[in-house]
Amino acid sequence: MLRKISTILFLLLFVANMSYSQQEVLKKKSPLLNENTITNVQSLGARGTDSPVTAANYVAVDTMGNAFGPGSAAINPLAYDPLSNVMAVVHRAATTYGLGTGELWWNYSTDMGATWARSLTSVQNGLTSQILARYPSMALHNPDQSTALADMWGCFSWPELSTSF
């Protein structure tokens, strides 16, 4: 009997302590942002209309094969270099211009994503024996801190499907 009462008291204290702790954690969270609380916002300018680019606007970058999003949070298909103001995205090709959906291409923008241009060659460009890439990641390398796109390097990583299994 004493054991049951002790267990019940322990559980009551544990639940009370956890709900108090949860309230303390909630107090430390950052406040929710809305349009009225955001300050120091830079407009990206107009894109064919008089309205600025907002989160509700979007730009179709390319005809990407199976572009539903990355496979995990560790995959980053987007890259940005603040010195040259270049944004880039790597993606699987559509069969209209690629050798297959496993071929990787990248697009770049020099106007903060308002317009995009496709690279002249694929990422693999005949360097791999197969074109079975999935979930690519990308980074931009600007060793000379140049503002010219031609001085930059694209760094790519991806897993490939295996045909031997």
In tens, the pLDDT along 9-38 reads 877 777 666 666 555 555 555 555 555 555
Task: Output b/e per residue, 68-98; b: 16+ Cβ within 10 A.
Answer: eeeeeeebebebebeebebbbbbbbbbeeeb
Q: How many structural domains does the chain have?
A: 1
Tell the residue number behind the tokens 């990641």, with chain if given: 137
Q: Residue 97 above 80 pLDDT?
A: yes
Task: Give the CB-side neighbour count of residue 162, counting CA atoms within 13 A.
Answer: 2
pLDDT at residue number 47:
46
Q: Report the predicted TM-score, pTM, of the whole model to 2 decimal places.
A: 0.59
Domain enclosing residue 116, as ranges: 78-157
40 domain residue, yes or no: no
132 domain residue, yes or no: yes
**Model confidence at 117, in pLDDT bands (50, 70, 90)?**
very high
pLDDT at residue number 54:
56
- Listed in order, strand segments (DSSP E) in 73-119 are 78-81, 86-92, 104-109, 117-118
99 domain residue, yes or no: yes
Q: Residue 90 above 70 pLDDT?
A: yes
pLDDT at residue number 45:
47
